[in-house]
Amino acid sequence: MSQTSEVLRRPGVTPDDAAAPARLLQPLLAEAAGAGAEPVSLTLDFGAPLAVGEPVTLEAWVDRATRTLVFAHARIVNHAGALAASGSAVFRRQAVASEQTQG
């Protein structure tokens, strides 16, 4: 006989929730990657803790891009200038139609 355990899920996100940086960074990374780019992977690194209502700065940029992949990076910096979280992501994008017909 196997044992199972129930997994509880809480709605919403608070700054002490590990999902909070992902919810902030993922849309920013997707915007940097460009329209139509589909996420392949997302990696998060955590830094200084954030407090509820604390002002933050969000930054994102593309490290490099190929015909079909975009490698993007983003970070959250707290009001004191400390790194609160950083994330990197890989996105897949469709090759341009003319490239698809040539290859």
Domain ranges of the chain: 39-102
Instruction: Calculate the alpha carbon distances from 26 to 30, 47, 85, 92, 99 in Å.
Output: 6, 17, 12, 14, 28
- The pTM of this model reads 0.73
Does the domain formed by 39-102 have CATH 3.30.930.10? Answer: no
DSSP annotation string for 75-97: EEEETTS-EEEEEEEEEE-PPPH
pLDDT tens for each residue of 15-49? 567 788 888 899 999 999 999 999 999 999 999 88
**Residue 66 has which token pair?**
């190929």
| pLDDT mean over 7-21 | 60
Please indicate whether residue 5 or residue 6 has the higher confidence score (pLDDT). Answer: 6
pLDDT of residue 50: 83
Taking every pair of Cα atoms in the chain, the longest distance, rounded to a whole number of angstroms, is 58
The tens digit of pLDDT for each residue in 68-88 reads 999 999 999 988 999 999 999
Angstrom distance (rounded) from CA 62 to CA 56: 20
Q: What is the C-alpha separation between 20 and 93, in angstroms, rounded?
A: 26
Give the mean pLDDT of 56-70.
95
